[in-house]
Structure 1
Amino acid sequence: MFAVVRVLILLLLLASIGCFGAYAVTRQRRYFHIGIVIVKWTVIAGLVFFGVLIVERLLEA
């Protein structure tokens, strides 16, 4: 379960790096905007992931 979430977060980060790379090459603002949106959702996914880990640890104790 957690491995799938980790891979998903990694893929989101790679997609945002690709968008920022496309922006650097083409200077089209849409790539920059898409990259920012992907980073935003990556941060949200990471916070949810760590929140679930914290709740699991608290419930085990």
Structure 2
Amino acid sequence: MLVFRWLVLLLLVGAAVTLAVYVGTRDRRWLRLTLLIAKWTVIAGLGFFGVLLLERLVMVV
């Protein structure tokens, strides 16, 4: 669980930093990298909530 939390946090920070670099430089490759990191952040977040859901289901059964 702690690994998922850190992973999502680091991905969010990475997306924010690359977005700030894009705003500063207006270089499109930073925007593309921001969107890629944001996509993987959403995937990691869904994985995190999936693990939480599975833990709850196992506790109920």
Show structure 1 runs of 4+ deviating over 4 A: none
Alignment of 1:14-53 (within 5 A): 14-53=13-52
Give 1:7 shift: 1.2
What is the identity, as a one-letter code, of the residue corresponding to 1:52? V
Task: Please say if 1:5 is aligned against 2:4.
Answer: yes
TM-score normalised by the chain length of structure 1: 0.93
Is there any run of 5+ residues in structure 2 with no aligned partner, and where? none
**Superposed displacement of residue 4, structure 1:** 2.0
CA distance in structure 2 between the partners assigned to 1:12 and 1:51 by the alignment: 18
- Number of aligned residue pairs: 60
Q: Relative contact order (C-alpha < 8 Å, sep 6+): which is higher?
A: 2
TM-score between both structures, scaled by the size of structure 2: 0.93
In structure 1, stretches of 5+ residues that fail to align are: none
Aligned-residue CA RMSD (Å): 0.7
Report the counterpart of residue 53 of structure 2 in structure 1.
Answer: 54
Q: Percent identity?
A: 48
Counterpart AA for 2:55:
E
